[in-house]
Amino acid sequence: MKTVINKELLFIHFDGRTTPLQIELVREWLQTPEHQQLYYQWLQEWERQHPQIITDADEAYQQFLQQIDATPQPVVVRPIAVWNRWKPGTYWMAASVVLLLLTVGYLTQDYWLMRTIATEYGEIRSIVLPDGTRVTLNANSELQLSRFPFLAPSRDVFLKGEAEFAVVHTSTHDPFKVHAANDVEVVVLGTEFVVNARRNNTRVELTKGKVQLRYPTLDQISTLTMRPGDWVNVSAGGQAKRGHQTLEPTVATGWKNYEYTFQRTPMPEIADLLNDNFGLTVQLDSALARRKVTGTFHAHNADELLQALIELFDIEVVRDGKAVQLKSSDPNQIQ
């Protein structure tokens, strides 16, 4: 029967009373990030319950002198074999503890070295990085950056989701790099652009300045330079599509003001947007799946965007929590 890793077992482990088999089970249990958080939480609780003993050297010396006066008999000292003091099991225990600590440090290095800033579904958040760069995170997005920027020679961030960047040009000309899905890198000195890294696809839209885009292909790293108005989509496998948008630059970042602009956008893409930004799972009937949408809609939440679609297409909505079914009231009217 497999040993259950719980707080009681870890307290025994912190006391140094676990067996090599139990230590190996704890090491396997720590492979999960949630377990790593519990480990440090219970370690702090154990340390609070087991404070270190602070001794009084003067008092101990006086007690020692009293013991000498009370026991004048000679003390026979018997040598103890070194091998008896350090049994083979002790070496294995020490090695297992060291291995466990190294494993925990390796598995949690991202937590200690990287800071994570994330948004919930429907939340939009603006932050200013230590170098002065402004980042606006769209809903359901995550940005990672170094906790210790003085240790990193360049300004590197890692994005999951969508964000707008207004990069500050430093006096030392340090490059700013955004790492996104499919090993895509956006390298800039000072500019404004949007990166959308969702669904195993990375889309970069340049508003101002100039950026260099790097992405892996089959046998090399491809590089291209973007200018204002350019957009590039990079999918898995290094397949890149490039174009130039005729819309106003603010359209790409309209979501900052809860504004969504569609130009003959297929309904399945809008269903994906509802899933990415608001966490809804949208199911379309065959007639709606062929429909395209053009227009600008203001929506602070999923319900407002759904209501706009209802009024536009005269559709029926069946909702069960986060699951939504959209059905056309008259399939013959939707082509």
More confident residue, 81 or 45: 45
Q: Which pLDDT does position 153 carry in this prediction?
A: 53
Same domain, yes or no, for 265 and 313?
Answer: yes
Same domain, yes or no, for 43 and 92?
Answer: yes
Pairing of strands 185-188, 176-179: antiparallel
d(CA 325, CA 321): 11
pLDDT, mean of residues 185-208? 90
Domain contains 253: no
Same domain, yes or no, for 164 and 145?
Answer: yes
283-316 tens-digit pLDDT: 999 888 888 998 888 888 989 988 888 888 778 8
Q: Which pLDDT does position 93 carry in this prediction?
A: 63
- For 5, the domain range is 1-51+80-107
CB 225 within 8 A of CB 210: yes
More confident residue, 85 or 292: 292
CATH number at residue 321: 3.55.50.30
Same domain, yes or no, for 167 and 290?
Answer: no
Using CA atoms, how far residue 152 sits from 124, 167, 184, in Å, is 28, 17, 20
Q: Which pLDDT does position 137 carry in this prediction?
A: 95
pLDDT, mean of residues 218-244? 87
Same domain, yes or no, for 175 and 285?
Answer: no
d(CA 297, CA 300): 10
Q: Which pLDDT does position 144 carry in this prediction?
A: 93
Q: Which pLDDT does position 334 carry in this prediction?
A: 45
Q: Which pLDDT does position 190 carry in this prediction?
A: 79
Query: In 10 A of CB 24, how many CB atoms?
Result: 14
Q: Which pLDDT does position 83 carry in this prediction?
A: 47
Same domain, yes or no, for 8 and 29?
Answer: yes
Q: Is the pTM of this model over 0.75?
A: no
Same domain, yes or no, for 120 and 213?
Answer: yes
Residue 76 has pLDDT above 50, yes or no: yes
More confident residue, 98 or 334: 98
Domain contains 36: yes
Same domain, yes or no, for 162 and 238?
Answer: yes
* Domain end marker among 193, 218, 246: 246
Pairing of strands 142-146, 315-320: unpaired
Q: Which pLDDT does position 335 carry in this prediction?
A: 44
CATH number at residue 131: 2.60.120.1440
Pairing of strands 323-328, 281-284: parallel
Same domain, yes or no, for 103 and 118?
Answer: no
Same domain, yes or no, for 241 and 122?
Answer: yes
Query: In 10 A of CB 178, how many CB atoms?
Result: 26
* Domain end marker among 246, 268, 293: 246
Q: How confident is the model at residue 157 (pLDDT cuts 50, 70, 90)?
A: very high
Q: How confident is the model at residue 151 (pLDDT cuts 50, 70, 90)?
A: low
Residue 112 has pLDDT above 50, yes or no: yes
Domain contains 126: yes
Same domain, yes or no, for 217 and 163?
Answer: yes
Q: How confident is the model at residue 327 (pLDDT cuts 50, 70, 90)?
A: confident
Residue 3 has pLDDT above 80, yes or no: no
160-177 tens-digit pLDDT: 999 999 999 888 788 899
Name the average pLDDT for the chain. 79
More confident residue, 150 or 307: 307
Task: Give the rounded percent of residues in the chain with a pLDDT score beyond 70.
Answer: 75
Count how many domains the chain has.
3
* Domain end marker among 246, 272, 301: 246
Residue 39 has pLDDT above 90, yes or no: no
Same domain, yes or no, for 98 and 180?
Answer: no
